[in-house]
Amino acid sequence: MPASSCRRLLVATTLGALLAGAAAWSAARAACDDPSPRCGFVLPESLAVPPAFGGVPVWSAHDCYGDAPGAPLADRFVVDRRVEGRWTRVPVRVRLPLGDEAVADWPAAERGNLVLVAPEGGFAPGGEYRVTRKDVADAPSTTQWLRVAAATPAADSASLLVGGRLEGPLVFPDVPGAGYPRYRAVARRLTLVLPPAWRPFASSLLVTTRVDGESWRPVLDACRRGVPPGTSVLGPLADVVFAPCGTLPQPPPDPRRAPEREPHALAPGTHLVEMRAWLPGTPLTLTARTVVTLDCP
């Protein structure tokens, strides 16, 4: 897929700076500019996890390695546990969470490109582990470090913090073969607020957003190989919803371009928003819902 075909959605200058800062959006565009599959560990390099953690999420395993279908993914990973100050190799378990309820609303291709890597017997309370992805062509080995807490927090509820109303330009840059108009937009930033017992594990959670019962991932529409599902260009536990509020002055029509298309955005008005945090490989989720109004001036 040409890199330019990814550059479809960008909240520019004013709105982008208000929402997340130019650096975050630049990072998102950089991910789009890379035509290779999204590969490697999904979560940050070092994690604090509860014992119930089902496995380190790794994105696009077979696409990245060029393996034939059915090749044993466990051969691509190494798991070590620190025992009395020394690292000891332990058997590896790799599984695809295709049937997990928490990923049920992900597109099928994305569910199939997420694997969970763990020790064969699971993570021991109080243990320290490292999971290493072996070297492949043009990609050196990488390692995920984990410290396991003594206990898993009990089921609890989260809350959803909705930021103030933001306005700014929603810009669709020129894309060969696809024309996009320019819009004024109104947006609200969303932050999932965890209960105290879950806060140490914030970096270990994958978070998805639904709006009016439908999966909300505008970045996916902007770049199919953008940030992995369960993550956001705005950072952990954050997302943004927006609606166009009329067009801005348009450039002259270009006969070489396809007809202009509408952006993946919400209609102005009131919407039911749900954010759900999932501890990978387990049935443990935290969900928060609220009503968000995107009112145009």
Q: Measured at the alpha carbon of residue 282, what is the angle toward residues 280 and 288, in degrees to the nearest 5?
A: 75
Radius of gyration of the chain (CA): 21
Tell me, what CATH number does 70's domain have?
A: 2.60.40
- Which residue among 148, 166, 187 closes a domain? 148
- List C-alpha distances in Å: 79 to 61, 91, 126: 16, 7, 16
According to the model, what pLDDT value does residue 48 have?
93
Write out the residue range of the structural domain in which residue 80 sits: 40-148
For residues 193 and 272, membership in a common domain is answered with yes
Q: Which of 31, 40, 43 is nearest to 1 (CA)?
A: 31
Q: 112 has which bridge partners?
A: none
Above 70 in pLDDT, residue 179?
Answer: no
Tokens at residue 232, please? 């956001």
For residues 15 and 117, membership in a common domain is answered with no
Above 50 in pLDDT, residue 18?
Answer: no
Q: How far apart are CA 123 and CA 64, in angstroms?
A: 26
Tokens at residue 153, please? 């927090």
For residues 159 and 29, membership in a common domain is answered with yes
Above 60 in pLDDT, residue 241?
Answer: yes
Count of the separate structural domains present in the chain: 2
For residues 222 and 252, membership in a common domain is answered with yes
Given the DSSP bridges, would you call strands 159-162 and 183-193 parallel, antiparallel or unpaired?
antiparallel
Task: Give the full edge-to-edge strand order of the sheet including 214-215.
Answer: 214-215, 206-211, 269-278, 285-294
For residues 117 and 231, membership in a common domain is answered with no
- Which residue among 148, 174, 189 closes a domain? 148
According to the model, what pLDDT value does residue 33 have?
43
Lowest mean pLDDT among 33-47, 217-231, 277-291: 217-231
What does the pLDDT look like over 119-168, one tens digit per residue? 999 999 999 999 998 876 656 788 999 999 999 998 888 999 999 888 87
According to the model, what pLDDT value does residue 63 have?
66
Tokens 């914030």 -> residue: 202
For residues 15 and 44, membership in a common domain is answered with no
For residues 14 and 92, membership in a common domain is answered with no
Q: How far apart are CA 66 and CA 72, in angstroms?
A: 12
What does the pLDDT look like over 62-108, one tens digit per residue? 667 666 556 678 888 999 999 999 999 999 999 888 777 778 777 77
For residues 159 and 281, membership in a common domain is answered with yes
For residues 190 and 269, membership in a common domain is answered with yes
Q: Name which residue leads in pLDDT, 87 or 230.
A: 87
According to the model, what pLDDT value does residue 254 have?
62
pLDDT band at 171 (very low <50, low <70, confident <90, very high): low
For residues 130 and 220, membership in a common domain is answered with no
For residues 70 and 17, membership in a common domain is answered with no
Cα 142 to the center of its chain, rounded Å: 19
- Which residue among 94, 117, 148 closes a domain? 148
According to the model, what pLDDT value does residue 66 have?
66
Return mean pLDDT, the chain.
76
For residues 141 and 235, membership in a common domain is answered with no
